[in-house]
Amino acid sequence: MAPKPKELKGDFWKTKDFKISIGDIIQKKETENTDEPLVSMGPTQKPSVTDLRSWDMKLLDRYEPFYSPLCDMCCLCTYGKCDLLGKKGACGIDAAAQQARIVLLACCIGSAAHSGHARHLLEYLIGKKGEDFPIEMGIGIDIEAPIMRTLIGKTPKKLGDLKEALDYVEEQMIHLLSACHTGQEGSSRDFESKALHAGLMDNLGKEIGDLAQIVALDMPKGDAQAPLVELGIGTINREKPVILCIGHNVAPGAGIMDYLEEHNLEEDLEVCGICCAAIDITRYNKNAKIVGPISKQLRFIRSGVADVIIVDEQCIRTDVLEEAKKNNAIVTATTDKMCLGLPNKTDEYPDKIVSQLINNQIEGALILDPEKVGEVAAKVAMKISKERSRTKTLPDLDEIIELAKECTECEWCDRVCPNSIPMMDAVMAASTGDLSQMQRLYNNDICYSCGRCEQECPRNIPIISMMAKIGEINLQDQKYNIRAGRGPVQDIEVRRIGAPIVLGDIPGVIAFVGCTNYPDGGEEVAKMAEEFLERNYIVVTTGCGAMTLGEYKDEEGKTLYERYSGSFEAKGLVNMGSCVSNAHIPGVAIKIANIFAKKPLEGNFEEIADYILNRVGACGVAWGAYSQKAAAIATGVNRWGIPVVVGPHASKYRRLFLGRTDKEETWQINDLRSKEVINGEPAPEHLLYAAETIGEATVMTAKLCLRPNDTSKGRQLKLNHYIDLHKKYFGTIPEDIYKFVRVQKDIPITYKRDIMEILDEKNWKPRKLPQEPSLMDMEGD
């Protein structure tokens, strides 16, 4: 009988033999296909809010929270407003704790959005397929739910099994949200621990959601050969009735595709999407098209191309109804998250809803039944398309010039622009007939069409409509592609490259994720991805980031998806899917710990996170993160030990996790093999870092792939890339290079002479190489 680890202490967890025997037991269990848990449960099954607190404190000791308040005040209760600048509030809270509290709140919102989405999906799919619908990810994936296995300690075999995990998430979220109430938590570090827990719940909620939709809707199951699908405003056939889906929930879009298929209407209508709903619809049916990331939203709605606009949940413009009305498009809301004040027509006959919509008896409809949405959307689009095609929606180019002449050069469009882009100069140039400046801002989403300039303009110049029209000048060029989201990495791929990643031979796994709040357009992100792909890194991507990468073509007109394989391998560009597919990023790191190192997963979060932090050279890049979901995603992967580089706008999240290389004591590690606590190195140096420019971000990302466990050969490779990139963007070998040379064998041959000079200057001495670097079992544990 297997021992119960919870009853054992000390060296038991360190023994290598134990890990191997667990691997055998897992194998046996799967062969026998029994529900009996033959694996031993680790110490933290279904961890509570405080169960992983000691791990969090280890992270926070090393990567101290760095706060930059967006507001000096707290206005959450009626004692306030309280000015927290150098003072405590009426409840006793100080500025640091208040920042951490707001971060927790943001992570709760983000996590709730993903988990609410997962709940919607799960209930819908269980209703459609039944609780016993099997969770089968194909022969290449045995560990189909690595996060769930680690946290819940169970392997889901059927859709109904996912409910237990989601119940757990929801319970934890209530406790976390309650901690934000006035007069609860008072410590910034404990708020951060809770934020990390909220991020972890976000990871689990996403995994549940994506797993459910992959199996029940037969999306690609880790398929490296997932098809290329069309992307870009120019791919939308404007001669057909057009249905646009915005948001994140695939169900309404799937309902539309099903209806078209069942009625042989696939060739007659165009179904397209914006944001993650678009990605997931193309995972379901490759005939759908992707308009692009969230940045396209307002300008595409304004263009009037869409006859029917289906909104589901998250990241949708809340004025979508008002905007749609301007060009007589019909809006249908489809989830409880966004009802827009529309009448609930869920129980109405579809033809009656269609009649009410096209006769303007209702200004839109709330329909909470995805199949009914499909029928109504298709019928409405076909009926109104012809009439709407005569609706003039955007100003002509001549009118743009006249509208631009209204500009008084007050400069307020520039001042309220989140990105401080030179909109006024572009408008003034347009007034002289020169549209090139507006076109430059349109291209690559330098302007992401938030519309704040329009709101401020005292002359009511419709700047976004002008941009949308100017964007149509090169419509034919706006045709790209993206590999359909493949879902998780296959176990077999991990077996193939687990060792090179952990040993450092593959220099790192870089994840480009998040939204499009880019400081200077999306092309920078694509070029950064290209840089790492060319350097043999593995690049994974999801969501709006994945779409942005698809919008960049090389000189031969090829997108990155056409140039690089979809496999999880060196030089592979792996589009995992939508926002919820972000779960597969920590997921693959967990798989590496389990498959390559045979670390048991069940109830064993801390050991897995410790392994990832010290040995898996992965780094996230969220260059345009804007949402609370992005905050939760980053915080969640941080808890697993994966660092993230964010763009300058992310400084407005109020908190980063920064290491201090000058505090050597914070980098000590325990070598589990020798049982010695030794001086470590700042690897990874930061856990959440905001960069100002893409050059800085690129160099930092390469540096954050360093891990204490790198072999000397792996370290040489990683340092070689770090130095190369530093020379490219900074012009020199990095001054801190000596901190990452442990022994002479670590020095890249190409730079040996220069580095030796630096080492001499710094009076460098070789250090011990840890065999099993860890933060566990340190003094004070």
Partner 1 sequence: MNERIIPWQPTVIAGPKQALMVTPETAKMMVKKAKRPLLILGPLAKEEPLVTHSIEISEKWDLPIVTTADTFKTYLEKGVKTKAYGVVEIINLLKDPEWNGLEGEGHHDLVIFIGGIYYMASQGLSSLKHFAPHITTLTLCKYFHSNADASFPNMKDEEWLIYLEKMKTD
Binding interface with partner 1 (CB under 8 A) = 64, 66-73, 83-86, 95-96, 415-416, 418, 420, 519, 648-649, 651-652, 656, 658, 660, 662, 689-693, 695-696, 699-700, 729-732, 735
In the complex with partner 1, the residue whose CB is nearer, 27 or 661, is 661
Nearer CB in complex with partner 1: 191/568: 191
CA distance 560 to 523: 12
Instruction: Please identify, using beta-carbon distances, which residue of 458 and 557 lies nearer to partner 1.
Output: 458
Element (H, E) at 620: strand 618-622
| Residue placing its CB nearer to partner 1 in the complex, 369 or 724 | 724
Give phi and psi for 649, each to the nearest 5.
-65, -25
Nearest to 250 by CA among 258, 242, 241: 258
How far is residue 1's CA from residue 20's CA, in Å, rounded to a whole number? 16
When the beta carbons of 755 and 776 are compared against partner 1, the nearer one is 755
d(CA 92, CA 79): 11
Q: Which is nearer to partner 1, 69 or 140 (CB)?
A: 69
* Least Cβ distance, residue 637 to partner 1 (angstroms): 19
Q: What are the backbone angles phi and psi of residue 138, rounded to the nearest 5°?
A: 95, 170
Name which of 234 and 695 has its Cβ closer to partner 1: 695
| Phi, psi angle pair for 243, to nearest 5° | -110, 125
CA distance 701 to 620: 8
Measured from the CB atom, the residue of 405 and 660 that comes closer to partner 1 is: 660
Q: Which is nearer to partner 1, 180 or 658 (CB)?
A: 658
Whether the CB-CB separation of 305 and 239 falls below 8 Å is answered with no
| Distance (Å, whole) CA 373 – CA 363 | 16
C-alpha–C-alpha distance, residues 666 and 307, integer Å: 58
CB of 425 to partner 1, least distance (A): 12
Output the smallest distance, CB 187 to partner 1, in A: 16
- In the chain, how many H helices and how many E strands? 28, 21
Given a contact cutoff of 8 angstroms between Cβ atoms, the answer to whether 666 and 660 are in contact is: yes
Among residues 46 and 762, whose Cβ is nearest to partner 1? 762
Query: How wide is the angle at C-alpha 398 spanned by C-alphas 396 and 401, nearest 5°?
Result: 110
DSSP character at residue 484: P
Q: Where are the alpha helices (DSSP H) in 393-473?
A: 397-404, 412-416, 423-431, 436-442, 452-456, 463-471
Q: Shortest Cβ distance from residue 67 to partner 1 (Å)?
A: 6
Using CA atoms in the order 171, 175, 176, 179, what is the torsion angle rounded to 10 degrees?
A: 170
Q: Which is nearer to partner 1, 417 or 776 (CB)?
A: 417
Nearer to partner 1, 517 or 559 (CB): 517
- C-alpha pair distances (Å), 489 with each of 43, 136, 143, 280, 495: 27, 14, 10, 17, 11
d(CA 701, CA 705) in angstroms, rounded, equals: 7
Of the candidates 196, 118, 218, the residue with the CA atom closest to the CA atom of residue 635: 196
Shortest Å distance, C-beta 74 to partner 1: 10
Whether the CA torsion 108, 111, 117, 118 is positive or negative: it is negative
Cβ 722 vs Cβ 691: under 8 Å: no
What is d(CA 120, CA 251) in angstroms, rounded to the nearest whole number? 9
CB of 434 to partner 1, least distance (A): 21
Are 656 and 749 within 8 A, CB to CB? Answer: no
Q: Return all residues near 102 (Cβ < 8 A) that are at least 6 apart.
A: 654
Instruction: Note the helical H segments in 343-456.
Output: 350-358, 370-388, 397-404, 412-416, 423-431, 436-442, 452-456
State the minimum distance, in angstroms, from the CB of residue 137 to partner 1: 40
Percent helix, strand and coil across the chain, each to the nearest 5: 50, 10, 40
Report CA torsion sign: 357, 361, 363, 368: negative
Q: Where are the beta strands (DSSP E) in 178-241?
A: 228-231
Which lies closer to partner 1 via its Cβ, residue 211 or residue 694?
694
Choice between 11 and 411, CB closer to partner 1: 411
Q: Yes or no: say if 118 and 166 are a contact pair by the CB < 8 Å rule.
A: yes
Q: How far is the CB of 230 from partner 1 (least distance, A)?
A: 35
Q: Please, which residue, 39 or 706, has the CB nearer to partner 1?
A: 706
Which CB atom, from 662 or from 779, has the smaller least distance to partner 1? 662
| Nearest distance from C-beta of residue 62 to partner 1, angstroms | 13
- Find the radius of gyration of the CA atoms of the chain: 26
Cβ neighbours of residue 34 closer than 8 Å, sequence gap 6 or more: none
φ, ψ for residue 426 (rounded to 5)? -65, -40
Closest CA to 542 of 588, 574, 517: 574
Minimum distance, C-beta of residue 694 to partner 1, in the bound complex (Å)? 9
Name the minimum Å distance from CB 740 to partner 1.
Answer: 16
Minimum distance of partner 1 from residue 100's CB (angstroms): 13
Q: Which is nearer to partner 1, 611 or 740 (CB)?
A: 740
> For the stretch 306-338, what's the b/e string if a residue is b when 16 or more beta carbons lie within 10 angstroms of its beta carbon?
bbbbbbbbbbbbeebbebbeebebbbbbbbebb
Pairing verdict, β 655-658 and 64-67: antiparallel
Cβ closer to partner 1: 497 or 700? Answer: 700
